[in-house]
Structure 1
Amino acid sequence: MFGQRTVDPHPGTHYRSSRLSAVNGQYFFATREGTLEGPFLSRHDAEQSITRYIERMAMADKLLRHSSEHIDNLQRREAIKHNQEL
Protein backbone atom coordinates (compact mmCIF):
# COMPACT_ATOMS: atom_id res chain seq x y z
CA MET A 1 0.00 0.00 0.00
CA PHE A 2 1.35 3.42 -0.94
CA GLY A 3 0.37 6.31 1.25
CA GLN A 4 1.45 9.21 3.38
CA ARG A 5 0.06 10.39 6.69
CA THR A 6 0.04 14.11 7.32
CA VAL A 7 2.80 13.68 9.92
CA ASP A 8 5.08 11.69 7.59
CA PRO A 9 7.85 13.79 6.00
CA HIS A 10 7.97 11.77 2.77
CA PRO A 11 5.66 9.34 0.97
CA GLY A 12 6.48 5.72 1.46
CA THR A 13 5.28 2.20 1.00
CA HIS A 14 3.39 0.78 3.97
CA TYR A 15 2.45 -2.87 4.16
CA ARG A 16 -0.66 -3.80 6.06
CA SER A 17 -0.26 -6.44 8.68
CA SER A 18 -2.46 -7.66 11.43
CA ARG A 19 -2.26 -5.29 14.35
CA LEU A 20 -3.93 -7.89 16.56
CA SER A 21 -2.11 -10.49 18.59
CA ALA A 22 -3.26 -13.05 21.12
CA VAL A 23 -1.24 -13.98 24.20
CA ASN A 24 -2.58 -16.51 26.70
CA GLY A 25 -6.15 -16.01 25.49
CA GLN A 26 -6.00 -12.22 25.75
CA TYR A 27 -5.94 -9.90 22.75
CA PHE A 28 -3.77 -6.86 22.13
CA PHE A 29 -3.29 -4.45 19.24
CA ALA A 30 -0.20 -2.56 18.16
CA THR A 31 -0.36 1.12 17.22
CA ARG A 32 1.65 3.18 14.74
CA GLU A 33 2.94 5.09 17.73
CA GLY A 34 4.61 1.90 18.94
CA THR A 35 2.34 1.09 21.86
CA LEU A 36 0.66 -2.21 22.63
CA GLU A 37 -2.94 -1.72 23.78
CA GLY A 38 -4.86 -4.30 25.79
CA PRO A 39 -5.53 -6.82 27.11
CA PHE A 40 -8.99 -7.46 25.69
CA LEU A 41 -11.05 -10.56 26.41
CA SER A 42 -12.05 -11.19 22.80
CA ARG A 43 -10.88 -10.42 19.29
CA HIS A 44 -14.12 -8.52 18.74
CA ASP A 45 -13.44 -6.27 21.78
CA ALA A 46 -9.91 -5.59 20.51
CA GLU A 47 -11.18 -4.71 17.02
CA GLN A 48 -13.76 -2.31 18.46
CA SER A 49 -11.07 -0.75 20.61
CA ILE A 50 -8.91 -0.16 17.53
CA THR A 51 -11.72 1.91 16.03
CA ARG A 52 -12.14 3.90 19.25
CA TYR A 53 -8.37 4.38 19.54
CA ILE A 54 -8.19 5.80 16.00
CA GLU A 55 -11.10 8.13 16.74
CA ARG A 56 -9.40 9.35 19.95
CA MET A 57 -6.11 9.96 18.16
CA ALA A 58 -7.87 11.90 15.38
CA MET A 59 -9.74 14.00 17.96
CA ALA A 60 -6.53 14.66 19.92
CA ASP A 61 -4.81 15.81 16.73
CA LYS A 62 -7.73 18.07 15.88
CA LEU A 63 -7.76 19.58 19.39
CA LEU A 64 -4.01 20.12 19.32
CA ARG A 65 -4.22 21.93 15.96
CA HIS A 66 -7.14 24.04 17.20
CA SER A 67 -5.29 24.94 20.41
CA SER A 68 -2.16 25.89 18.48
CA GLU A 69 -4.18 28.12 16.16
CA HIS A 70 -5.90 29.74 19.14
CA ILE A 71 -2.58 30.42 20.89
CA ASP A 72 -1.13 31.87 17.67
CA ASN A 73 -4.14 34.20 17.35
CA LEU A 74 -3.77 35.35 20.96
CA GLN A 75 -0.07 36.03 20.47
CA ARG A 76 -0.80 38.04 17.30
CA ARG A 77 -3.40 40.13 19.12
CA GLU A 78 -0.99 40.80 21.98
CA ALA A 79 1.74 41.81 19.53
CA ILE A 80 -0.63 44.18 17.71
CA LYS A 81 -1.81 45.65 21.02
CA HIS A 82 1.78 46.09 22.18
CA ASN A 83 2.76 47.80 18.90
CA GLN A 84 -0.24 50.14 19.11
CA GLU A 85 0.74 51.16 22.63
CA LEU A 86 4.22 52.15 21.46
Structure 2
Amino acid sequence: MFGRRASDMAPGTHYRSERISAVNGQYFFSTREGTLEGPYYTRVDTEREVALYIRRVKQSDTLLALRGR
Protein backbone atom coordinates (compact mmCIF):
# COMPACT_ATOMS: atom_id res chain seq x y z
CA MET A 1 0.00 0.00 0.00
CA PHE A 2 1.28 3.43 -0.89
CA GLY A 3 0.30 6.07 1.58
CA ARG A 4 1.34 9.05 3.56
CA ARG A 5 0.20 10.36 6.90
CA ALA A 6 0.05 14.10 7.42
CA SER A 7 2.94 13.87 9.87
CA ASP A 8 5.21 11.95 7.46
CA MET A 9 7.93 14.02 5.85
CA ALA A 10 7.98 12.00 2.62
CA PRO A 11 5.72 9.43 0.98
CA GLY A 12 6.49 5.81 1.68
CA THR A 13 5.26 2.31 1.18
CA HIS A 14 3.41 0.74 4.10
CA TYR A 15 2.56 -2.93 4.06
CA ARG A 16 -0.52 -4.16 5.86
CA SER A 17 0.09 -6.83 8.45
CA GLU A 18 -1.69 -8.36 11.37
CA ARG A 19 -1.11 -5.93 14.20
CA ILE A 20 -2.57 -8.12 16.93
CA SER A 21 -0.49 -10.94 18.35
CA ALA A 22 -0.93 -13.42 21.19
CA VAL A 23 1.90 -14.38 23.54
CA ASN A 24 1.31 -16.81 26.40
CA GLY A 25 -2.44 -16.20 26.33
CA GLN A 26 -2.11 -12.40 26.41
CA TYR A 27 -2.83 -10.12 23.47
CA PHE A 28 -0.82 -7.16 22.20
CA PHE A 29 -1.01 -4.81 19.24
CA SER A 30 1.79 -3.05 17.42
CA THR A 31 1.64 0.52 16.19
CA ARG A 32 3.14 2.30 13.17
CA GLU A 33 5.33 4.15 15.63
CA GLY A 34 6.93 0.84 16.58
CA THR A 35 5.44 0.40 20.04
CA LEU A 36 3.87 -2.77 21.39
CA GLU A 37 0.72 -2.05 23.41
CA GLY A 38 -0.73 -4.45 25.94
CA PRO A 39 -1.16 -6.92 27.43
CA TYR A 40 -4.90 -7.44 27.09
CA TYR A 41 -6.80 -10.54 28.19
CA THR A 42 -8.94 -11.14 25.10
CA ARG A 43 -8.76 -10.36 21.40
CA VAL A 44 -12.01 -8.39 21.72
CA ASP A 45 -10.41 -6.19 24.41
CA THR A 46 -7.40 -5.70 22.16
CA GLU A 47 -9.51 -4.72 19.15
CA ARG A 48 -11.38 -2.20 21.30
CA GLU A 49 -8.08 -0.74 22.51
CA VAL A 50 -6.81 -0.49 18.93
CA ALA A 51 -9.85 1.63 18.06
CA LEU A 52 -9.33 3.81 21.13
CA TYR A 53 -5.63 4.20 20.33
CA ILE A 54 -6.42 5.34 16.78
CA ARG A 55 -8.97 7.82 18.12
CA ARG A 56 -6.42 9.28 20.56
CA VAL A 57 -3.79 9.64 17.83
CA LYS A 58 -6.27 11.41 15.54
CA GLN A 59 -7.35 13.75 18.36
CA SER A 60 -3.73 14.51 19.13
CA ASP A 61 -3.01 15.30 15.46
CA THR A 62 -6.05 17.59 15.35
CA LEU A 63 -5.00 19.44 18.52
CA LEU A 64 -1.45 19.88 17.25
CA ALA A 65 -2.74 21.22 13.93
CA LEU A 66 -4.98 23.72 15.73
CA ARG A 67 -2.14 24.77 17.99
CA GLY A 68 0.12 25.37 15.00
CA ARG A 69 -2.19 27.96 13.45
| TM-score w.r.t. length of structure 1 | 0.73
- Mind listing any 5+ residue stretches in structure 1 that lack a counterpart? 70-86
Percent identity among equivalent residues? 58
Higher strand fraction: Structure 1 or Structure 2? 2
Q: Which amino acid counterpart does residue 51 of structure 2 have in structure 1?
A: T
Q: Which runs of 4+ in 1 moved over 6 A?
A: none
Shift of residue 34, structure 1, vs aligned partner: 1.4
Higher helix fraction: Structure 1 or Structure 2? 1
Count of residues in Structure 1 that have an aligned counterpart in Structure 2: 69
Q: Does 1:65 align with 2:58?
A: no
Shift of residue 67, structure 1, vs aligned partner: 2.0
- Partner of 2:46: helix, strand, or coil? helix
- Partner of 1:18: helix, strand, or coil? coil
| TM-score w.r.t. length of structure 2 | 0.89
- Mind listing any 5+ residue stretches in structure 2 that lack a counterpart? none
The alignment yields a C-alpha RMSD, in angstroms, of: 1.1
Larger Rg: 1
Q: Which amino acid counterpart does residue 60 of structure 2 have in structure 1?
A: A
Q: Which amino acid counterpart does residue 44 of structure 2 have in structure 1?
A: H
Q: Which amino acid counterpart does residue 46 of structure 2 have in structure 1?
A: A
